[in-house]
Amino acid sequence: MRIAISSDHGGNNLRREIMQLLDELHISYEDFGPQSADSVDYPDYAKPVSEGIANGEFDKGILICGTGIGMSIAANKVKGIRCALVHDVFSAKATRCHNDSNIIAMGERVIGPGLAREIVQTWLETEFEGGRHTRRIEKIAELEQ
């Protein structure tokens, strides 16, 4: 599994925490920054992650900003992306089982690092159920055309 991860300035600390988790889990990732605490525009950091997943360079992505809202909106503008804004473990599992989400977004100002780590690990370990959910994913893809 290859992960793309990014944040804006509001998600820098949580991004570093999640990269540490990925290291602990021996999961390969590419960090798209930013590398400083200077204010940046979240769409600029959602774009390379989303495009990298859409073109098959990465399997999944993790985006973090202050609330996760802006990152999730920006990511979902890219065809083929199913980014879920998640702040609890149940939703992390459900969005993989039912929605086959390929990006997760979280907010550093909303949840703490311990919960974020649990959410990401659950999301990464949960498989898409397929079945009736496949039909629904196909209908979502039709909306993109």
Contact 119, 87 (CB under 8 A): yes
Instruction: Say what the pTM is.
Output: 0.97
Q: What tokens appear for 77 in the block?
A: 């503008």
Q: Where are the alpha helices (DSSP H) in 3-82?
A: 12-24, 42-54, 69-75
Contact 113, 120 (CB under 8 A): no
Among residues 26, 65, 97, 133, the one annotated as catalytic is 65
Strands lying side by side in the sheet with 83-85: 28-31, 2-7, 60-65, 103-107, 83-85
Residue 142 exposed, middle or buried by CB count within 10 Å (0-12, 13-18, 19+)? exposed
pLDDT at 7: 98
Q: What is the pLDDT along the chain (145 residues), one digit of tens a residue?
A: 999 999 999 999 999 999 999 999 999 999 999 999 899 999 999 999 999 999 999 999 999 999 999 999 999 999 999 999 999 999 999 999 999 999 999 999 999 999 999 999 999 999 999 999 999 999 999 998 7
pLDDT at 145: 76
Q: Assess whether 98 carries a catalytic annotation.
A: yes
Q: Assess whether 65 carries a catalytic annotation.
A: yes
Pairwise CA distance, residues 65 & 8, whole Å: 5
Pairwise CA distance, residues 104 & 106, whole Å: 7
pLDDT at 113: 98
Among residues 9, 26, 97, 98, the one annotated as catalytic is 98
Residue with token string 């809202």:
69
